[in-house]
Structure 1
């Protein structure tokens, strides 16, 4: 049963690849630059590009299941090619944001991806993680140079999730058809504020770190300078403001699905400490 992994060079995708290899399944990955993918030698890496639908047919040949990382260009061309190849199951990486009442550009994009997969008629599973712990790698530069983290919201409690746990849920869904037609909303085990996470990071690297509140204008400028649209910054600020001074939801699904508790933020910080030193 060959399983195709898209987004295989990303933080979640690399963990999906590694964990699938641990199960002994044949794994294929696609990349726009296979020679630079840096994936294990047991993985078949093919060139393909969502923006070039004709490149997808070879990649999907004899594939039974797909881990699908969402593409900014949309998924309809991919799902059409997957349907033509008679793929039996797509596990889509989505997000918890479609579950929030007030629409924003981020939630609308994820809902559009889910609709594209549903409309294909292929069996599906949606994995909806909350915020990624790996997003805090954005703090690495100022931690290393100044010992400081700047963020608009120090007291917004969110249950960030380790990318290894996202991958574990996706892999479980890929190898167990009982998850077909289900939507899994997953989070880490604790809702933590930025100030609490900074303290934990400081303990992991043996250094006292400071928090400085960042203005909305400074955050928006930073995000747009990194190439994201202003609407993305606005959505993140709105989300942070909603949870400022309160705690977001914590879901037990990771343990229910994988049979083990999710990694804590302290686990993640210890694992990633070299990035912050």
Structure 2
């Protein structure tokens, strides 16, 4: 019994994990809400199920040894039921968590990941936690402003070590298909730090457009983000996180190189991969 179950197999990270595992000819199943609409690589079995409804997971977990779990935004109570269902049918879990030692940009999400990690530790499963720092894909939120030639955002000097989703996926695929990772918690980052203003400059250079950064006062940013996001707790946590990265830059780790034998992809490489999204 060596089947791997992927959750989030059509998401930013999961789609790359699916491609790598399918390319290796492994026995892979994907948990999807609607198999008829899921776009998956050839050779991956799609099984209907929903992590927010743990009672639906039985068929997807049949004959599975390892689960790649990606958090879709469910409650702590639901998470407990999901972990219990996985522990009852499988032996091993690789959980896409967050840098739980760093409560900054998204405090609520990080606290949730801490809670899920505790559940997994107590479950009896062999576990590995992947804890990425900031996702480079989050900068896609600037796409409309990039097209207009100026990005108005708070804390341009906030220094981040953003990671390419392909690197997260490559580490996940490596851990899913090799031994020796039980009980490991891997903090993943990009290979360098760039301020938010520098990230915008790099994107502009890649797409061939001069893009200017304009620092938005935090109080103005709060009102705009509150109107867009609607959650004051989330907005305030994000603003505190970005402010902290000005004086305490995000960490840089060598985990990608250690595990994969190559350096992590740079932010410029990420921007080149996503240039069409900014044009």
Structure 2-normalised TM-score?
0.92
Deviation digits for residues 244-264 of structure 1, max 9, x if unmatched?
A: 155321100000011111100
User: Contact between 1:29 and 1:44, CA under 8 Å: does it hold in 2?
Assistant: yes
Alignment of 1:47-196 (within 5 A): 47-73=48-74, 74=76, 75-85=79-89, 87-96=90-99, 98-100=100-102, 104-144=107-147, 146-196=148-198
The root-mean-square deviation of aligned C-alpha atoms, in Å, is 1.8
Q: 2:33 is matched with which residue?
A: 32
The question of whether the paired residues in 2 share the 8 Å contact of 1:140 and 1:275 is answered with yes
For residues 29-85 of structure 1, give each alpha carbon's deviation from its aligned partner in whole angstroms, at most 9, with x where no partner exists. 112232222122321111111222221010100111111001422422122111221
Structure 1: gaps (5+ residues)? none
Aligned length: 274
**Dislocated runs of 4+, deviation >6 Å:** none
In structure 2, list runs of 5 or more residues that go unmatched.
none
In 1, Cα distance between equivalents of 2:40 and 2:228: 26
Determine the C-alpha separation between the residues in 2 that align with 1:172 and 1:228: 38
- SS of the equivalent of 2:200 reads helix
Contact 2:22–2:42 (Cα < 8 Å) also in 1: no
Q: What is the DSSP-based 3-state SS (H/G/I as helix, E as strand, rest coil) of the residue aligned with 1:251?
A: coil
Please name the residue that 1:267 is paired with: 269
Q: What's the secondary structure of 2:43's corresponding residue?
A: coil
User: 1:253: which partner in 2?
Assistant: 255
Q: 1:233 aligns with which of 209, 232, 235?
A: 235
Aligned partner of residue 189 in structure 1, secondary structure: coil
Superposition deviation, residue 157 in structure 1: 0.8
What is the CA deviation profile of residues 81-100 of structure 1, one whole-angstrom value per residue up to 9, with x for unaligned ones? Answer: 11221x1210000111x213
How many angstroms apart in 1 are the aligned matches of 2:113 and 2:227? 23
Contact 1:219 1:233 in 2 (8 A): no
In structure 2, what is the Cα distance between the partners aligned to 1:52 and 1:90? 19
Displacement of 1:227 after TM fit? Answer: 4.6
